[in-house]
Every structure is written in structure tokens, then in C-alpha cells.
A = this chain, B = another copy of it.
Amino acid sequence: MIKASIVSIGNEILSGQTVDTNAAYLSDRLLTICMPVASSYTVADDIDLIVRSLKLAGDEADVVLATGGLGPTDDDLTRQAFAKLLGVQLQLQDDLLQKIQDFFASRNSKMPDKCKIQAHMPAGAKVLANNLGTAPGIITWKDETVFVAMPGVPSEMKQMFEESVLPELKKLTAGQAVVIQKLKCFGTGESNIAELLGNLLERGRNPLINCTAENGTITLHIIATAKDKDKAQQMVENSEKLLRNKLGKLVYGTGEQTLAEVVGKKLIQQKKTIAIVESCTGGNLSKLLTDVPGASQYFSHGWVTYSNSAKTDEVGVPSDLIVEHGAVSSQVAEAMARGALKRARTDFAVSITGIAGPTGGSEQKPVGLVYISVCSDNKCDTERFIFSHGRNSMRCRAAKTALNMLRLRCKFD
């Protein structure tokens, strides 16, 4: 199998001032042409280190994709490193120089002298056009390995990769196809999913199944490789069926779907409306719901009843009830939802009350304790949860969990 390696060049990545999104983008795109990334290096703006990394990457892979270090400043050394790797000199290319001068002229400015270096190329290397900036890229072959240099600016890199690099690389993997599907799950932890799936998650399988987790959402990536697209598609479909069988209601969607999108779609289908009243999550649930375009079709009223008086004033929670059970209790959660239902005249209301921390917890009611209630006229489901991972994560998980409860009540009474 043809493999790639990525070399990201630049002090700003190593110093943590810039998060390297290029490597993830390239990996993702390479997978679609059946070219897995075997390794990835990040190196400083130092010519010897760059050459060393290119060599190491070339030892491991058939295709080496470098990004960064093609700018006009003194610390942009990728051109020189490529020349050194190939054992050739840099040569000024007049047509490139003209192009860079035109670039500045079209912006009514003069080319800074510094930019002249960008018209130099390792002798014999092929130039990759940059339609968004002044830094041309490089593609070259050495001992059957392809070496590519692209700019570090993500927009310039992406355009160059899609227009000039990807078509070249596709030729290398002709006759193979990859299909990827993502299954989105919610309602249990990663270790439980792993237990349910057993050896399906083993390395080296085809389809390969990867599992990632973010704030309670588990994503299963199904990656099938085959001689042709139809076959790979069939493999993904079989795998998806198997996973859905094992995971049941834990699977809520596919691709990039969010819980809020899935819930919103169901509400539209069933012509139902919803109101939200939240305390500890302070707007997180309404935010998630309205992240989805068109949420106004089912969502009209939301309250952030952060104080006890707001719970009483706005959604009519009896103050006695708060005194008796505390604001963080199943009784108050249910009263909040019932109050919102009445006030907004919606089909459903969802409430959240809890202790986000870092202070305000007690032994009986620790930080992370949350009650969520999902109510319609004839039924209230109220559940108790303990969330960890700190204030922000806890608030996000509580809001997602409320959406998940709503999803599981999917036939909506």
C-alpha cells in the first residue's frame, strides 16, 4: 500500500502559537485516495533539521508532503532544504519572478525585495502554482519517492493541494478505493463502547474502525478499502449494520450530525414544539438547539433561570418547593419543566438544574450533580446525573444529555 508522511515546518507550530490544522486536513484527504499517513513530523526553521526530517519521512513513505517555510522571510528555508536534499542549486526562474511582481501590481503595490527569493527553485524541480499568494510550491522525485512542498497558510495550502497535488497522487493509488462512514453515538463512555464492540476495534481489520470521544459524543469511523468504490461501499454498509446491531439506541446519527440536528429533525417531522428552561447550564442547551438553522420552527421560548427568584418569577416554581428540596432536586427540575410547558404552550419542555462548580457542592449534593426533566402534558421523565471533567465540560455534557433524553423519547408520547 502506498503510504504518505507529513512534515510540518515552522517555529510557530513548535512554540504552540499556531495549531497545525494542515496535517489533519491532509491526512483526512489522503485517506479518501487510499493513502494512509504513516507518520508526521514537525520541525523548526532550521535547514539541517528540515533535511533530516525529509529523509526520515522518505524512508517511511512513498510520498512526503511538507508544508510551511516557503514565505519570503529569512526563516523560510524549505526551498533551500529541498535543494540540499536533491543535491542541486537554487535557480532564479524569470517567469515566477514576473508572476510575483504581477501579484503585487494587481494590488497596486511594489514587490518587496524580500519576495524575490520566492522565485528561486531547486534546479529540475517542478513548480506548483499558488493562485492565492506569492509562494509557489514544489513537486519532485528522488529515489522513487515523491517530495512535495506547499505553503503553510491553510487556504493557500488547500487550494494548491486540491488543484495540483491530489491529481498527481491519485495516479499512484489508482485501482484502490476508500469509503468512510462515521457513526455518532451518545449515552455511554468510550470503554463501554469498546466492550460492546470487542474485537471489531482491532487494528489491521478492513474495514478499520476507529473510536474517538469528545464531551460525551463518541464517533466510530468506519474505513473500508477495496479494489473499487462499490465494493468498499458494501463493506461499509455491512459494518454499519453490525455496529448498529450491537449498539442499538446508542447510535444517534451519521457523518457530522449533532444531537441537536437529529432532535430538531424529529420535532419538525412530528410537528412538535419545545421550550427550554435551564439553570446550571446557563444557556448551553438553548445555544446547542439554535446552532441548527431553522430551529425557529420548533423552538420559541427559552429561559435561563439562574437564580431561585427567576425560577419562581418566570416559570412559577413554588418557592416552598425550592426551600423544601433545594434548587438542585428532581422536584424542582420537574416543576421548572412543567412551568415552562404551561407558559410557552409548547408540546415539550426540557429543564436542567445542577451544580456546575467549582464551589457550591456538598457531600449530599456534589459538584457535577444535575437533574434533567423532559416533560409533556401527560408525562415527565426526570433523571439524576453526576458529570465530571470540570465546569465547562460538565455544562456541555449536561446540555447534550438533555438532548439525548429528548431523542430517546423519540416517538414523543
Q: How far is the CB of A359 from chain B (nearest CB, A)?
A: 7
A226 interfacial by beta-carbon distance below 8 Å = no
Q: CB within 8 Å of B: which residues of A? A: 11-21, 23-31, 36-46, 49, 53, 56, 71-75, 106-107, 112-115, 132-134, 153, 155-156, 190-192, 194-195, 199, 201-203, 208, 210-213, 219, 221, 223, 276, 281-291, 293-296, 299-307, 309-310, 313-314, 343-344, 356-359, 386, 388-393, 395
Contact of A284 with B283 in the complex, beta carbons under 8 Å: yes
In the bound complex, how far is the Cα of B293 from the Cα of A289, in angstroms? 23
- Some 18 contacts from A to B, beta carbons below 8 A apart, are A11-B203, A14-B37, A15-B28, A17-B210, A39-B49, A39-B53, A45-B203, A75-B201, A156-B389, A282-B289, A283-B285, A283-B290, A291-B395, A293-B357, A294-B359, A301-B304, A301-B305, A301-B306
Q: Which residue of B lies closest to A115 (CB)?
A: B191
A114 CB contact (under 8 Å) in B24, B191, B392:
B191
Contact of B282 with A195 in the complex, beta carbons under 8 Å: no
Q: Which residue of B lies closest to A32 (CB)?
A: B16
Q: Which residue of B lies closest to A53 (CB)?
A: B39
Q: How far is the CB of A287 from chain B (nearest CB, A)?
A: 4
Q: Which residues of B contact A106 (CB under 8 A)?
A: 386
In the bound complex, how far is the Cα of B133 from the Cα of A393, in angstroms? 13
Contact of B296 with A344 in the complex, beta carbons under 8 Å: no
Given A300-B309, A304-B290, A391-B293, answer yes or no on A16-B29 (Cβ-Cβ < 8 Å).
yes
Contact of A284 with B287 in the complex, beta carbons under 8 Å: yes
Contact of A72 with B194 in the complex, beta carbons under 8 Å: yes
Given A201-B73, A203-B75, A392-B291, answer yes or no on A310-B314 (Cβ-Cβ < 8 Å).
no
Contact of A36 with B15 in the complex, beta carbons under 8 Å: yes
Q: How far is the CB of A136 from chain B (nearest CB, A)?
A: 15
Contact of B14 with A27 in the complex, beta carbons under 8 Å: yes
Q: Which residues of B contact A53 (CB under 8 A)?
A: 39
Contact of A44 with B49 in the complex, beta carbons under 8 Å: no
Given A15-B37, A39-B44, answer yes or no on A283-B287 (Cβ-Cβ < 8 Å).
yes
Q: Which residues of B contact A212 (CB under 8 A)?
A: 12, 17-18
A39 CB contact (under 8 Å) in B43, B114, B201, B276:
B43
Q: Which residues of B contact A39 (CB under 8 A)?
A: 14, 41-44, 49, 53
